[in-house]
């Protein structure tokens, strides 16, 4: 595991050559600020709300890597006062789906600070997020000796075919994507990295029912007190050294206690998912064997309807807390 971690770090250090700085405002980062690290590609519609959500949470600086982007997002991001921007035309897949680039940026700018690593279609929420910002959260994590915050990806979806609703940039995606699946989420622990592997949710119900082992992984570790010796292993689903993966429910957890955790509202199924899937299928830059994902993208391109009569309308973190999707870990 140590060798693997070193290899991953070495890879990402080498990948720095792929990155071309567009705007570098990293000198504006103040010590103690939470930094957000993001890779994006043609995400112009989601960016305005993404930035406002995380600014409200108290993210001090955003470090973006734009990959092969050809929409107005570059110009938009370059204008933001708290964004540093790199771009690259290298292969997303060859860079371990962007993780190499992010790991390098974290190595350089995230050492010994709280780092938030998310995609543009992921909005982090946690207990009390509307009244307590990330500073309060990170202080709490530090106080309880937890190096990372775990979060479950919660797929939000609309009622009816996905391309039916309209979304204007800057709008809260939860207004368009109103529903989610309250369960089932199935967890198992994987060795040797001791990470959790949580699967479930609407995609697993509607599309991966015949081959559940391929269903998307839903657990992530988006917020971490970074050290340059750390490395994300498989997107932000798991990290090395293995003790970080235990941040969720502790080492050798046989006690049944509950740690603090959040949820990432996954806004993938906004109307543009249909056109994007067609593109993604062409680009063949996703996880696993590209061929495996053709059917998945075909399915998404057909604007499926994920809604069913047991779907739950999203009402906020207290609802998720009651349902046991996130937990406050004693942080009352």
Partner 1 sequence: MSLGIVMLVHDALDRAEQLVRHWATHGCPVVIHVDTCVTRKDYADFVAALDDLDNVKFCKRRNCEWGTWSLVAASQTASEVLLGSFPDLRHIMLVSGSCLPLRPISEMLAYLQDRPQTDFIESVTTEDVPWTIGGLDIERFTLRFPFSWKRHRRLFDRGVEIQRKLGVKRKIPGGLVPHLGSQWWCLTRKTLSAILNDPQRPVFDKYFRYVWIPDESYYQTLARRHSTRIESRSLTLSKFNFQGKPHVFYDDHLQLLRRSDCFVARKVWRYADKLYDSFLSDQQLVVAGAEPNPGKIDRIFTKAIDRRTKGRAGLYMSSRFPSEGYRGNLTAARYTVLEGFAELYDGFDDWLADTVSARIHGHLFAEDKVHFAGGGQEFFGALSDSANLRNYNPTAFLTNLIWSTRGERQCFHFGPCDNQDVSWVMAKDANARIYVVSGAWAVQLFHSNRSFPDIRREAARLQKIESEHLTALRSGYARARTQIWSLADFVLNPTELLQNVVDDIGPRTPTPLINLPRMKPLQGFGQFLQDLKNQGMHPYLMGDFPAGHDLVPATRIQRKPYLVN
- Contacting positions for partner 1 (CB under 8 A): 128, 131-133, 135-136, 139-140, 143-144, 150-152, 181-189, 196, 198, 202, 204-205, 209-213, 219, 248-249, 252-261, 308-312, 323-332
Cβ 153 to partner 1 shortest distance, Å: 10
**Residue carrying the six token digits 């106080």:** 143
Q: Which of 104, 147, 112, 114 is nearest to 9 (CA)?
A: 104
Cβ 231 to partner 1 shortest distance, Å: 21
Assess contact for 141 and 225: CB atoms under 8 A. Answer: yes
Cβ 280 to partner 1 shortest distance, Å: 25
Cβ 182 to partner 1 shortest distance, Å: 5
Residue 236's CB is within 10 A of a number of other CB atoms, namely 24
If the CB atoms of residues 94 and 253 are measured against partner 1, the closer one turns out to be 253
If the CB atoms of residues 83 and 223 are measured against partner 1, the closer one turns out to be 223
Q: Which of 284, 219, 266, 282 is nearest to 120 (CA)?
A: 266
If the CB atoms of residues 60 and 285 are measured against partner 1, the closer one turns out to be 60
If the CB atoms of residues 85 and 177 are measured against partner 1, the closer one turns out to be 177
Q: Which of 194, 198, 161 is nearest to 273 (CA)?
A: 161
* Cis status of the peptide bond prior to 195, with omega within 30 of 0: no
Sign of CA dihedral 96, 10, 106, 246: positive
If the CB atoms of residues 157 and 230 are measured against partner 1, the closer one turns out to be 157
Assess contact for 311 and 179: CB atoms under 8 A. Answer: yes
Using the 8-state DSSP alphabet, how is residue 159 labeled?
Answer: S
How far apart are alpha carbons 322 and 102 in whole angstroms?
34
Cβ 134 to partner 1 shortest distance, Å: 11
Cβ 244 to partner 1 shortest distance, Å: 14
If the CB atoms of residues 133 and 227 are measured against partner 1, the closer one turns out to be 133
């Amino acid at each position: 595991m140590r060798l693997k971690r070193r290899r991953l770090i070495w890879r990402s250090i080498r990948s720095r050559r792929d990155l071309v700085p567009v705007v570098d405002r990293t000198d504006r980062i103040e010590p103690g600020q939470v930094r957000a690290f993001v890779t994006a590609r043609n995400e112009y519609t989601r960016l305005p709300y993404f930035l406002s959500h995380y600014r409200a949470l108290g993210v001090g600086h955003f470090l973006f890597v734009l990959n092969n982007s050809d929409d107005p997002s570059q110009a938009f991001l370059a204008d933001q006062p708290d964004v540093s921007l790199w771009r690259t035309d290298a292969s997303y897949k060859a860079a371990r789906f962007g993780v190499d680039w992010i790991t390098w940026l974290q190595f350089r700018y995230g050492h010994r600070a709280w780092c938030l690593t998310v995609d543009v279609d992921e909005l982090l929420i946690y207990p009390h997020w509307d009244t307590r910002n990330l500073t309060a959260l990170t202080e709490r994590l530090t106080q309880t000796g937890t190096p990372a915050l775990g979060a479950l990806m919660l797929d939000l979806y609309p009622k009816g075919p996905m391309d039916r609703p309209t979304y204007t940039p800057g709008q809260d995606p939860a207004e368009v994507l109103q529903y989610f699946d309250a369960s089932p989420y199935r967890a198992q622990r994987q060795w040797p990295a001791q990470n959790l592997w949580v699967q479930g949710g609407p995609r697993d119900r509607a599309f991966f029912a015949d081959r559940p082992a391929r269903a998307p992984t839903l657990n992530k570790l988006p917020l971490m007190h970074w050290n340059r010796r750390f490395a994300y292993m498989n997107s932000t689903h798991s990290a090395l050294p293995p003790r970080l993966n235990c941040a969720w429910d502790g080492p050798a957890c046989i006690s049944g206690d509950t740690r603090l955790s959040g949820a990432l509202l996954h806004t993938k199924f906004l109307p543009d998912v249909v056109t994007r899937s067609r593109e993604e299928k062409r680009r063949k830059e996703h996880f696993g064997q590209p061929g495996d994902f053709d059917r998945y993208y075909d399915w998404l391109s057909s604007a499926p309807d994920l809604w069913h009569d047991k779907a739950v309308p999203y009402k906020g973190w207290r609802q998720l807390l009651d349902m046991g999707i996130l937990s406050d870990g004693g942080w009352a």
